[in-house]
Amino acid sequence: MPVSQRLEEFQHLFAAIITRALKDAELSNGTFSKGCKDFPDNFRIERELYNEVESHSKYSSKKSQPIYIAGTDEAGRGPLAGPVVAAAVILPRNYTNDNKNAAFTDSKKLTSNQRDTLYCTLEQIGAILGIGIATVKEIDTINILQASLLAMKRAVLQLSPLPSFLLVDGKFTVPFSCPENFEERDEKTIPAFTAPIIQQALIKGESKSASIAAASIIAKVTRDQIMKEIDRQYPNYGFARHKGYPTKAHKEAIGRFGICPEHRRTFRGVKEFVSSV
């Protein structure tokens, strides 16, 4: 089977499994039987995909490498300052959120202490982590959406092994390109899942996929740490408190002290002060 046809077939399979898992969740009022009482079983998409792909007779040959499913998310699209940070996570295939200490959900719904605890949990359970960053200069050059996708791409490429399937938070997939001469290589020597990575975007993915939720936690914790470092460099703005978001205190600090090199000059609330630098 040609490589392109095989990839297209698995893209359809990926989308079908996701649709079915989300439909099942709706029928069960958003909860799954294997989840703990506080959180749903949001690893269902990944679990069903692992099971179905590996039972697929066309792709279960001994020559095929193991498949890996990752989730990716970013933190820091809305702030007026600091980088946008993305993370990518491959959870262990036997993962289950049967206790609250390993139940990954949207980072915005967690306290700072809860995020820190779950970050450590990810390392303890052997999750594979990747982190990518797009700088303030890149944000101002290519816009925040493209910078967010760039950070996601960098995060995914930090994973080893690379994933076969990628769940992406939001409306857009990550812009990957095929390796050089990919189509010219001998298909018999190509693992069943080389590149491009098969992707599916999920709006509000943190509430639907444990892998995306875990990535959102890693991205948020990492970015918060970066903003604390930036706060030490530029202590007038309170970055350690508001993390660069457009709070009243942050806006007042910009009005009083002007902007610093970590401010995004193309953002409203900052660009008005660029001429005064």
Question: pLDDT per residue over 188-226, tens digit each?
Answer: 333 333 457 899 999 999 988 999 999 999 999 999 999
pLDDT at 4: 66
d(CA 3, CA 206): 31
d(CA 41, CA 21): 11
In a domain, 245, yes or no: no
In a domain, 152, yes or no: yes
In a domain, 15, yes or no: yes
Which secondary-structure segment (H or E) carries 69? strand 69-75
Q: Is the pLDDT assigned to residue 56 strictly greater than 90?
A: no
d(CA 69, CA 276): 48
Domain of 156? 3-236
**23-54 residue pLDDT tens:** 776 655 444 444 444 556 788 889 888 888 77
pLDDT at 13: 76
State how many domains the chain has: 1
Amino acid at 81: A
In a domain, 271, yes or no: no
Position 232 confidence tier, pLDDT thresholds 50, 70, 90? very high
In a domain, 222, yes or no: yes
The percent of residues above 90 in pLDDT, for the chain, comes to: 55
The pTM of this model reads 0.84
**86-144 residue pLDDT tens:** 999 999 988 876 655 556 877 788 888 989 989 999 999 999 999 999 999 999 999 99
Task: Provide long-range contacts, Cβ within 8 A and 24+ apart, for 28-36.
Answer: 34/96, 34/97, 34/98, 35/97, 35/98, 35/103, 36/97, 36/98, 36/99, 36/100, 36/103
Q: Are 270 and 255 contacting, i.e. CB atoms less than 8 angstroms apart?
A: no
Mean pLDDT of 51-64: 63
Read off the CATH number of the domain in which 140 is found.
3.30.420.10
In a domain, 232, yes or no: yes
